[in-house]
Amino acid sequence: MQFLSDNAAPVHPRVWDALRAADGADAPYDNDALSQRLDAAFAELFGRPCAALWVASGTAANALALAALVDPHGAVICHRDAHIEQDECGAPGFFTHGAKLMLVEGADARIAPEAVVQLMGSIRRDVHRVWPQALSVTQASEAGTVYRPKELTALGACARDHGLKLHVDGARFANAVAFLKCPPAEAAGPADALSFGCIKNGAMGAEALVLFDPALADLVRYRRKRAGHLQSKGRFLAAQLLAMLEGDLWLENAAHANAAAAELAAALPGRLLHPVEANEVFVRLSPAEREALRAQGFGFYDWGANGARFVTAWNARSADVAALARALAAL
Amino acid sequence: MQFLSDNAAPVHPRVWDALRAADGADAPYDNDALSQRLDAAFAELFGRPCAALWVASGTAANALALAALVDPHGAVICHRDAHIEQDECGAPGFFTHGAKLMLVEGADARIAPEAVVQLMGSIRRDVHRVWPQALSVTQASEAGTVYRPKELTALGACARDHGLKLHVDGARFANAVAFLKCPPAEAAGPADALSFGCIKNGAMGAEALVLFDPALADLVRYRRKRAGHLQSKGRFLAAQLLAMLEGDLWLENAAHANAAAAELAAALPGRLLHPVEANEVFVRLSPAEREALRAQGFGFYDWGANGARFVTAWNARSADVAALARALAAL
Amino acid sequence: MQFLSDNAAPVHPRVWDALRAADGADAPYDNDALSQRLDAAFAELFGRPCAALWVASGTAANALALAALVDPHGAVICHRDAHIEQDECGAPGFFTHGAKLMLVEGADARIAPEAVVQLMGSIRRDVHRVWPQALSVTQASEAGTVYRPKELTALGACARDHGLKLHVDGARFANAVAFLKCPPAEAAGPADALSFGCIKNGAMGAEALVLFDPALADLVRYRRKRAGHLQSKGRFLAAQLLAMLEGDLWLENAAHANAAAAELAAALPGRLLHPVEANEVFVRLSPAEREALRAQGFGFYDWGANGARFVTAWNARSADVAALARALAAL
Amino acid sequence: MQFLSDNAAPVHPRVWDALRAADGADAPYDNDALSQRLDAAFAELFGRPCAALWVASGTAANALALAALVDPHGAVICHRDAHIEQDECGAPGFFTHGAKLMLVEGADARIAPEAVVQLMGSIRRDVHRVWPQALSVTQASEAGTVYRPKELTALGACARDHGLKLHVDGARFANAVAFLKCPPAEAAGPADALSFGCIKNGAMGAEALVLFDPALADLVRYRRKRAGHLQSKGRFLAAQLLAMLEGDLWLENAAHANAAAAELAAALPGRLLHPVEANEVFVRLSPAEREALRAQGFGFYDWGANGARFVTAWNARSADVAALARALAAL
């Protein structure tokens, strides 16, 4: 009864099928037929031209995107709790050759335009200061919350007004779209680059880096190779991405995970640290309560001194979820 | 009848089995049981302590290794034809933060100690000059040739005498060992770091970076994460590597590929551009001859104006090899 | 009547004399007799072995120091208002190859050990997180305040306990020592590296980077060259530094500047934004008051919406200082 | 009687005068009146719009220029003997974030268009290969030879045809112009960026980085600060550069140095390793001959096992030059 991480979940059967189907000989790197289909598949999904490149991790997708959007002497504005700040061992600093992350606050790990305006207003524009060139938001956020389309529109306008490119870290983008029940393009807002997550959602080892400015794609293709991320049997990564899109498997999986999280949230509404809008549930729990739950066989991470994080995955079993909901309600 | 690249070959059935077997839930990143077994498995293989980290590409393995061995203001000595110089889009420069590759010549893409001595002797040691800190050799080489154990011993001694660490790019290390029929440790020489290739040899997307100085491993673990190469479902990479080692599948596959190459070489001995010792055959062929072969359904890369490269893979079919051998012999 | 910046002040006559005296032919780079005297001169000043390298700017001194103290995947803890964070265009990120600055708060631009302890306690030590490896403090601080020796001892102990190296940005170190009237070594605390500023204090274009761990010096000498900071006529930089030390000119100049700042501070004690301990005076002033002062011929920078910064230099003229003090008192 | 290096020569009296004249208070960094005059002064010199930035070393000028011209995944073509390859401790790799230098051969340290064509023709243009984006030539070359204007025109056309920007390392540009007796613009060819050297020619610590594409200037201004090269008392660097241009002091000094070199060359014509066109004389000399000369009080560097380099500076004394010429002739 593991609620530790959606990274721990298995690979979806339809992804396995696609992997096996990709196992004929084909051209190496991204010259195979499957990789060549990605741009069109994602352009159809988002209703606008784009380039879509497979990479093996969300960190790689994010860092490659940011490096395409800012200069080494530039900066990316992000939330203090952003994955790119907290959990990537400085990958953005490596890929951008030293650009800064500038941190803003915001409830539930989300950024409001006012925070961007305030930060930009505090920076004197001269050669001594680092000047931000991009805004990065996470959809769904690190607190399991979701930006509404109109919020993204406002953030995008704010970014544009300040000369900032917009990056969306979509490690759990599927969960956001499943929550919003809107077209994917609206859930991405006016993004210039989107890290479209699949691994937490049933893939094995492939994320899509979607570049809505195709002019960036050539640059990123070089940088992907240079970062050791151009795998020689790339067809297996492309196969995973296409399987996720096929028949909207990505949305089906995410909806399942979201529903499980909602069930957990309903069990203990007064204890929620953040609204539950995706597949993460952050709950106020004392150490004793955590111990009691673990004694019952539930796996999860502590979240600070008096909290816990439960993550539901595409394969969450009803019985496990119901059991945890009961255990939470009984606290 | 493709002889383009061993990267185009399929995944071996036993690797598939291992991948499926790894699909229970386990801890993310490299905290799973399979990943935790790698150090011991490779230490046993090489008969000395080491750390073994999975990465998704040979370029990543090489670049991470080199970055652990040289300073940003240092240099790596390698052959002019080395993969790290010719085919990695400058990945060593990225990972090392700007260290140089210093090129030496040598027949059949191999480096002799004399070349190292001569280069080192030409560099004034002061703060104006870039000073080499590592030597990188490729085993089997880019010309399909193999360093003998005593040659590696001599190179290693030469390296040590000049304060150089030794890196072995073993994208086709298995083919070298299969040729030498010696213990793996002898085929690696006194390497400080070895990129142990599996992808060209039947894996899907995993290479092992083997660090014989375990003190380097902590550093490299950070840098792997920072480079976006710490995949969250790392158990699937570990599974591939362990499957390759299990029952010496890696040697069995390489021996098969080598035998096919030898069969091709025997068909046209007078035309060989390099001795055939691994799974690559470089042949003098005129454009007309190349065209004729292609018309018969054989796929391969041109090699310069009057040459061709044929690569045999773990799954080379006897009939295809025999057909190509006949076609070559008939030229 | 300029109080804009001590960078705008002229070169001290004794520095001019030393420059002229250095104009005989001598060996290039840092092989000249003057450059060779620096290590000993600074070792004598600080009473412990060190290497002292000239560089042309405080930014270069700071960034070279930090790059010697932290890995590319590491971090430096500094105050939110630190010069390295606010005013160096990301130089630390460039020289360290992407290490992070992690910001802490603290009154009057000074850091308390508690802030370091709290920050370190908040960082999970694993490969996903960036781990700080150095603490940087500014002496005198960006708010014109001075760390007391016992405060530095405590910070140094805290740093050591957490495995952090200690860097001191001493762009105005002379003003701190002149204020503390203590041995320089006590004003530097247990620093591993000190940027010893001279340019704001009467030099033309030379700062000393003092490395108290001589083992770092070789590394930094390479990096200095690599950064284009090994000037070919380095004797002129060495001459400036030696002139500053000769007869304690550095302390004499700083004491003069400090006294002028104290005189200004005394004129308007209720308006001070920070204690005045060095040569910077931060005052609460309305826009109308600022305008009035400027109309009387005083030059200075605005400091936020309702403040101003006055900087006194080594050459502050009594009449100017008295005039400004009167004008401030009359507000 | 030193002929070691023009870096060892003193500062010209007119440069000293300019330095003293710059010693009034003025705005810091490059906001002073002198720095503001540089763009116009160099635009007039070259007869076309440009931005001219002071920096403290030729290495900084070269590396900043190259970093503005190539991507981190790109390359610069240069001569094997180029200063940027041989004598800058990898500064181009640092500033460009890892771009490669690709080396070509050529008599007398000069590059012929054919060498560029051949190199470019050898590189497959795909994501695996590093693709050159700039060509760097040294005027006067490291062998003391000078490109003729028509040669630069041809190289420029070749560069343009291959999409390469053109950088000129002009550490001894003055000597080249003094030799060619042509307009400076012709001696620079269709350069995109020129490192205009002054330090070897009578300045103390200032070179001009001249960017003929003003669009690059903003980028380089940020990078100069980020590299610690925006000195706070920049007026003293600007003063040196303006003094060198004033009354063509730069040409006068270089002509004097060239004449001295020519006098030496005439003494031993059969022993010259390279044509003597600037202020460097490379001579075939046995160890015994070198020893004999040194015993007579002449200082110079060995050049390989059987050679020597004599450099003449702006202040070469007639008597010293005549004495050395006699000593050489007497060998």
A99 touches chain C (CB under 8 A): yes
The pLDDT of residue C271: 95
Q: What is the pLDDT of residue D214?
A: 85
Q: Which residues on chain D are in Cβ contact (under 8 Å) with C59? A: 225, 228, 230
Calculate the average pLDDT of chain D.
97
Taking CB atoms and an 8 Å limit, are B56 and A2 in contact across chains?
no
Predicted local confidence at residue B83, as pLDDT? 98
pLDDT reported for residue C252: 98
Task: Write out chain A residues lying below 8 Å of B56, CB-based.
Answer: 56, 205, 228-229, 231
Q: Mind telling me how many Å the CA of C134 is from chain D's nearest CA? A: 20
| B14 in contact with C, Cβ within 8 Å | no
- Find the mean pLDDT for residues D135-157: 98
Lowest mean per-residue pLDDT among B72-86, D2-16, D275-289? D2-16
pLDDT digits (tens, 9 = 90+) for A16-36: 999 999 998 788 999 999 999
Residue D47 confidence (pLDDT) above 90? yes
Distance from CA of B70 to the nearest CA of A (A): 17
Q: Looking at the predicted structure, is the pLDDT value of residue B318 above 90?
A: yes
Residue D140 has pLDDT above 80, yes or no: yes
| Alpha carbon distance A112, A104 (integer Å) | 9
Measure the CA–CA gap between C104 and A93, rounded to whole angstroms: 20
Note the pLDDT of residue D25: 74
CB-based contacts of D150: which residues, under 8 Å, 6+ apart? Answer: none
- A100–C93 C-beta distance less than 8 A: yes
Q: What pLDDT is recorded for position B26?
A: 85
Nearest CA in chain A to D97: A97
For chains B and D, count residue pairs whose Cβ atoms are closer than 8 Å.
59
Tens of pLDDT, residues B269-280: 999 999 999 999
Instruction: Please state the rounded mean pLDDT for residues A221-237.
Output: 98
Per-residue pLDDT of chain C (331 residues; tens, 9 = 90+): 889 989 889 999 999 999 999 998 788 999 999 999 999 999 999 999 999 999 999 999 999 999 999 999 999 999 999 999 999 999 999 999 999 999 999 999 999 999 999 999 999 999 999 999 999 999 999 999 999 999 999 999 999 999 999 999 999 999 999 999 999 999 999 999 999 999 999 999 999 999 999 889 999 999 999 999 999 999 999 999 999 999 999 999 999 999 999 999 999 899 999 999 999 999 999 999 999 999 999 999 999 999 999 999 999 999 999 999 999 999 8
C75 → chain A, closest CA residue: A90
A61-78 pLDDT, tens digit each: 999 999 999 999 999 999
Tell me if chain B has a CB within 8 Å of the CB of A222. yes
For the range C34-43, what are the long-range contacts, defined as Cβ-Cβ under 8 Å and sequence gap of 24 or more?
Answer: C34/C235, C34/C238, C34/C239, C34/C242, C35/C234, C35/C235, C35/C237, C35/C238, C37/C238, C37/C242, C38/C208, C38/C238, C38/C241, C38/C242, C41/C241, C41/C242, C41/C245, C42/C196, C42/C208, C42/C210, C42/C245
Find chains touching chain A: ≥3 CB pairs under 8 Å.
Answer: B, C, D
With a cut of 80, say whether residue B25 has pLDDT above it.
no
Query: Residue C98: its chain A contacts at CB < 8 A?
Result: 90, 93-94, 96-98
| Pairwise CA distance, residues A231 & A28, whole Å | 8
* B253: contact with A, CB 8 A cutoff: no
pLDDT recorded at residue D239: 98
Mean pLDDT of A91-111: 98
Contact B73 C222 (CB under 8 A): yes
D22 at interface of C, judged by CB pairs closer than 8 A: no
Q: Is residue A317 within 8 angstroms of chain B, CB to CB? A: no
Q: One-letter amino acid identity for D249?
A: L
Summarised one tens digit per residue, pLDDT across range D150-159 is: 999 999 999 9
| Best mutation target, B226, B240, B301, to test chain A (most A CBs within 10 A) | B226
Q: Give the per-residue pLDDT at B177.
A: 98
Contacts C–D by Cβ distance under 8 A: 142
Write down the pLDDT at residue A25: 73
Neighbours of chain B (3+ CB pairs under 8 A): A, C, D
Domains of chain C: 12-247 (3.40.640.10), 250-329 (3.90.1150.10)
Spatial CA neighbour of A207 closest among A181, A173, A232: A173
D89 touches chain B (CB under 8 A): yes
Pick among D95, D128, D142 to test the B interface (most B CBs inside 10 A): D128
Query: Across all residues in chain A, what is the average pLDDT?
Result: 97
C230/B127 touch (CB, cutoff 8 Å), yes or no: yes
Residues 6+ apart with CB under 8 A from B39: B50, B51, B52
Which chain A residues have a beta carbon less than 8 Å from that of D224?
127
- The verdict on a CB contact (< 8 Å) between A2 and B16 is no
What 3-state DSSP class applies to D188? helix
| DSSP bridge partners of C170 | C196
Show the beta-strand stretches assigned E in D219-322: 280-284, 301-302, 307-311
pLDDT of residue A219: 95
Nearest-angstrom CA–CA distance, A191 and A211: 8
User: In C, residues 26-65, which contact D (CB 8 Å cutoff)?
Assistant: 26-29, 55-61, 63-64
Beta-bridge partner residues of B284: B307
Q: Does B23 touch chain A (CB under 8 A)?
A: yes
Contact A100 C94 (CB under 8 A): no
For testing contact with chain A, the best of C100, C123, C303 (most A CBs within 10 A)? C100
- Tens of pLDDT, residue by residue over B181-191, are 999 999 999 99
Facing A127 at nearest CB: one of D71, D73, D221: D221
Lowest pLDDT segment from B20-34, B43-57, C110-124, C242-256: B20-34
* Alpha carbon of residue C253 to chain centroid: 15
Predicted local distance difference test score (pLDDT) of residue D246: 98
Inform me whether the C-beta atom of residue B319 falls under 8 Å from chain D C-beta atoms.
no
